[in-house]
Structure 1
Amino acid sequence: MTSASITHTVTPADTARALGSGDLDVLGTPRVLAWCEQATCAALDLPPEQTSVGTRVEIEHLAASPVGAVVTATATVVYEDGRLLRFQVVAHDAAGTLLANGEVRRVVVDRERFLSRITPVGD
């Protein structure tokens, strides 16, 4: 199976307080999700004319991480049907504690065709 991992150190900008998802100085769920999605993108090897877009996310944020913690998010393709990809995602800290797990779905699209359907704001 195709998989990829990314590693980040939690900074004050990654906290629930900074992201507006709470008032504690611990890793915020929106950042955990962003790191898991980053791992899904890293797991794909698409030609330049293609990209993928997220379509569904289900994440359980199970444990808190303080500023300074090292977090690794891993995404593994567990299902593929044409353009649809489902990834199992997990995040662990350096001690191996499971911080989050879930599933992210992405769809592979033609970059130009996708963007041609978007109407710029103000038009």
Structure 2
Amino acid sequence: MPMPPIGLRHRESVTVDASLTVPSVSPSFRHFHDMPPVFATAFMVGFVEETCVAALEAHLGPGQRTVGTHVDLSHEAATPIGMTVTVEVELVEVEGKRLRFKVEARDDKDVIGRGHHERFVIDEAKFLARLEVKARS
């Protein structure tokens, strides 16, 4: 299947609730529990990845998926519970199976983040087979 076209754009929105705030990132990270209840950088990165995956959905062949390989994002403004965050991505470079996206995240008031995210197109079956070998070694 041909690679997605440069210039491909997509946007997704989510309303921030308590489950998307810093104290909710993970019980394994005990120092986060008493942090301010604002949209977490970790969840912003995940939301950027989700938006890129959604953008690519119609452009991948059977058995193809993408995996994130590089994240270069700022987190410039805090977003409180109740605000909506919108991430817009634009595919700006395709090199072989490497896809580079320009990213901007906004809440109801400000640009909260911007940068670039790279993904790599994989054959899911081959990827999982290599992962199984790695897990057994």
SS of residue paired to 1:77: strand
Aligned length: 122
Query: What root-mean-square deviation, in Å, do the aligned CA atoms of Structure 1 and Structure 2 show?
Result: 1.6
| Residue 31 of structure 2 is aligned to residue 25 of structure 1 | no
Q: How far apart are the structure 1 equivalents of 2:63 and 2:73?
A: 29
TM-score, length-normalised on structure 2? 0.83
| Residue 98 of structure 2 is aligned to residue 92 of structure 1 | no
CA shift, 1:122, in A, is 6.8
Listed as ranges, the matches of 1:15-94 within 5 Å are 15-19=21-25, 20=29, 22=32, 23-44=35-56, 45-94=59-108
Which of 9, 12, 15 aligns to 2:15? It is 9
Structure (1/2) with the larger helix percentage = 2
Q: What code does the residue aligned with 1:86 have?
A: R
| Residue 124 of structure 2 is aligned to residue 111 of structure 1 | yes
Question: How big is each residue's C-alpha offset from its partner over 1:63-98, in whole Å with a ceiling of 9 and x where there is no partner?
Answer: 000000001011110110110000011111134x10
SS of residue paired to 1:43: helix
TM-score, length-normalised on structure 1? 0.92
The runs of 4+ residues in structure 1 deviating greater than 3 Å are 120-123
Percent of counterpart pairs with the same letter? 31
